[in-house]
Structure 1
Amino acid sequence: MPNYTENTVSTIRKNILLVLLPYLLDSTSLNSKLRSFKAFPYGLLSLATYLKRQIGNSLNIEILDCNFNDGRDIISVIKGKLTEFKPDVVGLSMMFDNSYGYLKDISITIKKYNKDTIVVLGGAAATASYASIMAEQENIDGICFSEGEIPFLRMLNSKNMLDFVDKDVSWITRSSLREGRVPKKTLVENLDDVIAVDYGFIDTSSYAMGEAFSPFAGQMASRKQFFLLTSRGCPFKCTFCMRSADDDKDMRYASVKEIINHLRFLVSEYNMNVLTIYDDQILLDKERAKHLFRELAQFNFRIECPNGLSVAFMDDELIKLMRDAGMDTVFLAIESGSPYVLNELIHKPLKLKMVKPVVKTLRKHNFWIHGFFVSGMPGERDEHRDETVEFIKEVGLDWSGFSLATPSRGSELFKICIENGYIRRDMGVAELDVNKYIINTPEYTPEYVAKKTYTMNLDVNFVNNYRMKHGEYRIAADAFMDVIKRYPNHAFAYYYLSKSLYALNKDREAQLAMENFYEIKRKDDMWKEYVKYFNIS
């Protein structure tokens, strides 16, 4: 592990408070892209673990997750922690734009408590909007650009932390912006240094982790679920990705040996039995992926990769290794069934002809097959969206998740939308709602695209559900019940659950589901419209 402590100038104990800003939304929103459950603050855990191991006992670190407030308002929670802990440095984490509305009041509260407390900000959303944030937030002393482990460590080890932040290449300040300095990333090159996250910084029992959508999920009597990030980076430049304007396409990996050692500890310490791997490109190094899944088989985990996998790297051997390791559901990052949209609008190097053979192999190994698709890219027309629907039916996916294109700051899509007037040029940080489609092109209104996309969802997942068509009613019913658990007022889920249960000779349960369908339809004009559109009797 590299040592950045040699220039430490003081052994005075520092109190470091790492704060995760609120991000939770209503879990019943049909369009929510954000987590509706309390997920481990993995980024802050990684940062805290790295700092503690590098600096040791001269550092006292606590993590405050503002998504836990015990019914109190957020400012009361912050004030209580400031009084109790007396931090020298507060690091605020902003992963999503919807957290921005809390930033001003929280930073003011910290500075009112002690004007000498250093307040810094990090996280993906902060990196993407650093100039606007520094202009608007006078109580933020600096913003960390990209990864935070090494920049934060160097700040803590400096003679004067504020002076260091003002001069370091990976920190953004008002001074650096005035001088026109372009921030640069300082990355952890060896991910073995950060793979063994210390969960002792939080109360793991307070977190209600959620498995990704699948009829095979939620079947363990006692679920002990943990996250893992075994690699960082992505070599691709999908237009909608907030990293698409980043020229750094290098990949970094943790060694399989260190991953397995960490998992053994989690099993021993926490009885872990569900592993969620959040890598963007877990399969890119195919031989490493095969090695990893061979080793994972020893644990008898249920494994999921909800960020999506590329069909380009899947072969029969890898798919079997994934299944043997404990993966029963696969999420395929396909994005579109239209070659034009993939190549010209998204810039994703995927050949659609590769998908069907991979789906066939996944089917052979008894996977639930879920495809990811993006709708509403500028330049996409209805014929392209119809092409996607036909592609899904033709290749035989079990389920398809549709996301409406979001022009996230930092993405090529954001630049395209600004340059062409598809979104407002003066849109503030907090105004970009990832759960609302806002791209307004001359061809289509946002409302039209959102409705068209939801119709696609109902078509392939309910009206023409793959498992229903192939007589696999038990699995179909479990999928519809998972939908209802997440969205209790989903009329189509109740209707097709009823159809599945009737086919399983569960007449009483089927009747109750149908009664729920009629009751929801009676109260909601939206569902009446979709029932009429699909001619459901």
Structure 2
Amino acid sequence: MTTHEQALDLAPGGGLGPAPNVLLIVPPNITFEAFAAPGKNSKSWRHANGHDYGVLITDVPLGVLTISAYLKREFGCAVKVIDFNTEIHKTWNHPDSLDFAPWFTEVLARVQAEGFTPDLVGFSSLFITGYENVLMLARLARQTFPSAFVIGGGNVATTMYREIFEDAPEAFDALCYGEGELPLKELLSAADPRRYCEASNHWVTRGNLQSSGIYTHHFIDRLDDVPYLDYDCIDLQDYHYSPTIKAYTNIADKTNYITYMGSRGCPFLCTFCAAHAVHGRKVRAFSVERIEAELTALKTRLGASTLVIEDDMFLWDVDWAKAVLRIAQRLDLNCFFPNALALYALDWDMLVELHKTGVRQLTLAVESGSARVLKELMRKPLKLSITERVVTDCRKLGIYTDCNIIIGMPGETREDIEDTRRFLRNLGASWYRINVATPLSGSEMYLDARAKGQIKGDIRLAGYKKCVVETEHFTPQEIENIAYDINLESNFLNNIDVRLGHFQHAIEIFSNVLLLRDDHALAMYMIAYCLQRLGQQAQAQQRLDELARGLERSSFWTGFFADKGLWADGQVSFAYLEQLPAAAQLTPA
């Protein structure tokens, strides 16, 4: 018998009891600084207390729903979930606080007061921007529930276990390496959970990190063995706050959707991505029959009209993907994909199938307009001609295109960035998410940048708008400024709907920007221009008056408008927009 098998020492109830109480916690996915003082290039929302706060992504935590279902089936656990990304809209009211600690303490104390005493407390965190929140919450959970076994999982635990045990050595009993179902089954079956974790290469502890430090994934090869998502462990209405859904004007009912993930893993080697760290590079998927059965059950129970598909690599198998789309069609579920789809698989037939499933908006993994950056720095097998074809085909079908763009990859030059800027000017996509290159923990980019000393400042404060990488070509601040400038040029001044004369649709898009950032002067300017072109002079003047007041309050916008020639001596100028080349000069539709 191996040491691992001896430590496991399977018992009917395990060391945590026959049906343990489990508290699953999802920490805030942004730093307190990004929440309390959102930057000019970040989305914000206004609290009832009058303060503007940074937006937290409130996507349904599918990993937590899966683990909850698995633990209930295998052990009959009582499971309670706290997702602080939705909780913030219900109970946050600490405008003078210097960190999240008072609020965290208050929420955990309420759980205790309700009489729920967890035997196991588990944290699920995907993003490095939530790193400090994970540590703070784990410490507070340890104080609030001193007898509980405290664990962590997700991308942060899998890729930053050394940093976690260095920064908070007493906070966690163990960290799960990769997916959690099978390691948790062993943990809850072990007569001595601590002894088991010390001997397991699927769990990281302070002890085995010092003695071994070698860990392996423990995957479920046949995903059909995983139970249906446990939507009972959350209040789905809490997720109606989701900015991911609200940002998309093509979804008619933004409060009536279910979220699903039919596959795990990604076979590609993109240097900026860390999806493989938890789920591996081999794609595993639910069978089509399983997916149809589960979606039918969810549709019947929840009455949803929209299916949000969260797969990292939905198009891994074209036939499988089309089969899933046809299931959605039969169930009258309109599909929505918040994660970027791989362009190489988006041929005309696939786009038509997506369109039949109600898809009117797609996020595209364009990443760069520089062929050199794509091939040499990102190792992404994508030709720019494919991007152009997909955008053109989407425009023919009436599908709104939202393109992911990354600026500031280590090794990227000013010429490379200008190549991207020029490419976007002529691409004609509907919108561009211009992000700074972020060294995600577990990605090749992170490992290389750390080895070369290119990470400047606190990596835990990094985000898609906050750069922490410095190279021989750029400082972090330069990259942030360039990325924001390309954002303003591509999405506003060079907006394809405006160039095509789709002024009413453009107004809807820019109005949506103001919902997320009500002081966005360029959105006001573009709305005023569109209203003027529609002959609505009075409404246009109201927007211009609002714009004038906004410029008086913002040195940034005053400087930007002056540099672009949009405003001078108290007067607006639309000359920049009127000299743009006709949309017919774009890739033909």
- In structure 2, the CA distance between the partners of 1:144 and 1:224, relative to structure 1 (3 Å rule), is same
Residue 502 of structure 2 corresponds to which residue in structure 1?
472
* d(CA) in 1 for partners of 2:226, 2:396: 37
Structure 1 position 53 matched with structure 2 position 73: yes
- Distance in 2 (CA, whole Å) between partners of 1:364 and 1:214 is 23
Q: Structure 1 CA distance, aligned partners of 2:289 and 2:9?
A: 28
**In structure 1, how many angstroms separate the alpha carbons of the residues matched to 2:342 and 2:537?**
41
Paired AA for residue 51 in structure 1: L
Note closer, same or farther for the CA distance 1:244–1:12 as it changes in structure 2 (3 Å cut).
closer
Query: What's the secondary structure of 1:236's corresponding residue?
Result: coil
Q: Which amino acid aligns with 1:106?
A: L
Correspondence 1:451 to 2:457: no
| Maintained 8 Å contact 1:489/1:520 | yes
Contact 1:273–1:300 at 8 Å: present in 2 too?
yes
2:315 partner SS: coil
Among 361, 374, 377, which residue is 2:406 paired with? Answer: 374
Q: CA deviation at 1:422?
A: 1.5
1:15 aligns with one of 21, 36, 40: 21
Paired position in structure 2 for 1:484: 514
Match 2:452 to one of 413, 420, 429 = 420
* Residue 42 (str. 1) matches residue 42 (str. 2): no
Q: Which residue of structure 2 aligns with residue 313 of structure 1?
A: 345
1:139-154 correspondence to structure 2 within 5 Å: 139-154=171-186
The 5-angstrom pairing of residues 119-198 of structure 1 reads 119-137=150-168, 138-194=170-226, 196-198=228-230
Distance change >3 Å, CA 86–CA 214, structure 1 → 2? closer
Q: Secondary structure at the match of 1:73?
A: helix
Tell me if structure 1 keeps the 8 A contact 2:404–2:434. yes
1:498 pairs, out of 513, 528, 537, with 528
Unaligned runs of 5+ in 1: none
Identify if the C-alpha distance between structure 1 residues 102 and 26 changes in structure 2 by more than 3 Å, giving closer, same or farther.
closer
Distance 2:385 2:414 in 1: 22
Structure 1 position 209 matched with structure 2 position 238: no
RMSD value, Cα: 2.5
- Choose the corresponding residue for 2:289, options 246, 249, 257: 257
> Residue in 1 aligned with 2:81?
63
Is 2:444 the counterpart of 1:408? no
Mapped partners of 1:73, 1:255: distance in 2: 42
Amino acid at match of 2:304: M
Partner of 2:314: helix, strand, or coil? Answer: coil
CA distance in 2, matches of 1:438, 1:132: 17
Please give the alpha-carbon distance, in whole angstroms, between the structure 2 residues aligned to 1:302 and 1:507.
38
Contact 1:195 1:230 in 2 (8 A): no
1:328-385 per-residue CA deviation (whole Å, 9 max, x = no partner) reads 0011101001011101111111111112222222112110111111001122122211
The CA deviation at 1:476 is 1.3
Deviation at 1:177, TM superposition (A): 0.8
Specify which of 545, 554, 571 is matched with residue 524 of structure 1. 554
Match of 1:111 among 139, 142, 156: 142
Task: Tell me if structure 1 keeps the 8 A contact 2:19–2:78.
Answer: yes
The residue matched to 1:226 in structure 2 has which SS? strand
- Is this contact kept in 1: 2:127–2:155, CA < 8 A? yes
What is the identity, as a one-letter code, of the residue corresponding to 1:77? Answer: V
The residue that corresponds to 2:48 in the other structure is none
Q: Within 2, Cα distance between the matches of 1:444 and 1:105?
A: 33
* CA displacement, residues 67-126 of structure 1 (integer Å, 9 cap, x when unaligned): 426247211221332351111111122223333334444334443445432111112112
> Would the aligned equivalents of 2:525 and 2:543 in 1 still touch at CA under 8 Å?
yes
1:226, 1:203 → 2: CA distance?
Answer: 12
Query: How far 1:406 sits from its partner (Å)?
Result: 0.8
Farther off after superposition, 504-513 or 63-72 = 63-72
Matching residue's letter, 1:485: L
Alpha carbons of 1:510 and 1:258: their partners in 2 closer, same or farther (altered >3 Å)? farther
| Residue 236 (structure 1) aligns with | 268
Asked if the contact 1:339–1:352 (Cα under 8 Å) also holds between the matched residues in 2, the reply is yes
- Please state how far the C-alpha of 1:281 moved relative to its aligned partner: 1.1
Report the 3-state secondary structure (helix = DSSP H, G, I; strand = E; otherwise coil) of the residue aligned with 1:407: coil
Separation in 2 of the partners of 1:244 and 1:264? 30
- State the shift of 1:460 in Å: 1.4
The structural deviation recorded for 1:455 is 1.2
- Which deviates more, 507-516 or 318-327? 507-516
Pairs aligned (count) = 528
CA distance in 2, matches of 1:243, 1:472: 38
Q: Does 1:326 align with 2:358?
A: yes
Paired residue secondary structure (1:283): helix
1:320, distance to aligned residue in structure 2 (A): 0.8
SS at match of 1:85: coil
Closer, same or farther: CA 500–278 of 1 in aligned 2, 3 Å: same
SS in 2 for 1:441: coil
Match of 1:294 in 2: 326
TM-score by length of 2: 0.84
Change (3 A) 1:355 1:195: farther
Structure 1 residue 146, shift from structure 2 partner:
1.3
C-alpha displacement of 1:434: 5.0
Distance 1:258 1:505 in 2: 54
Contact 2:435 2:465 in 1 (8 A): no
Aligned position for 1:269: 301
- Does the 8 Å CA contact 2:158/2:278 hold for their aligned counterparts? no
Give the counterpart of 1:462 among 456, 476, 492: 492
C-alpha displacement of 1:30:
4.7
1:279-313 superposed Cα distances (whole Å, 9 cap, x missing partner)? 11111211111111122112333321111011100
Which of 541, 560, 572 is the matching residue for 1:511?
A: 541
Q: TM-score, length-normalised on structure 1?
A: 0.92
Return closer, same or farther for 1:428/1:204 CA change in 2, 3 Å cut-off.
Answer: same
Contact 2:178 2:277 in 1 (8 A): no
Which of the residues 284, 299, 307 maps onto 2:316? 284
In structure 2, what is the Cα distance between the partners aligned to 1:302 and 1:514? 38
Distance 1:430 1:270, change over 3 A: same
Counterpart amino acid of residue 507 in structure 1: Q
Q: Is the 8 A contact 1:79 1:109 kept in 2?
A: no
Residues of 2 paired with 1:527 and 1:303: CA distance? 38
Deviation digits for residues 406-456 of structure 1, max 9, x if unmatched?
A: 1122111122222222224xx666444554112122222221121111111
Distance, in Å, in 1 between the alignment partners of 2:378 and 2:309 is 25
CA 514–302 in structure 1, closer or farther in 2 if over 3 Å, else same? farther
Partner of 1:90: 121
Give SS of 1:50's match: helix
Q: Which amino acid aligns with 2:138?
A: S
Q: Could you say if the C-alpha distance between residues 151 and 245 of structure 1 is closer, same or farther in structure 2, counting changes exceeding 3 Å? A: closer
Residue type of the partner of 1:501?
A: L
Report the residue type matching 2:68 in the other structure. A
Structure 1 vs Structure 2: percent identity of aligned residues? Answer: 28
- In 2, Cα distance between equivalents of 1:350 and 1:64: 40
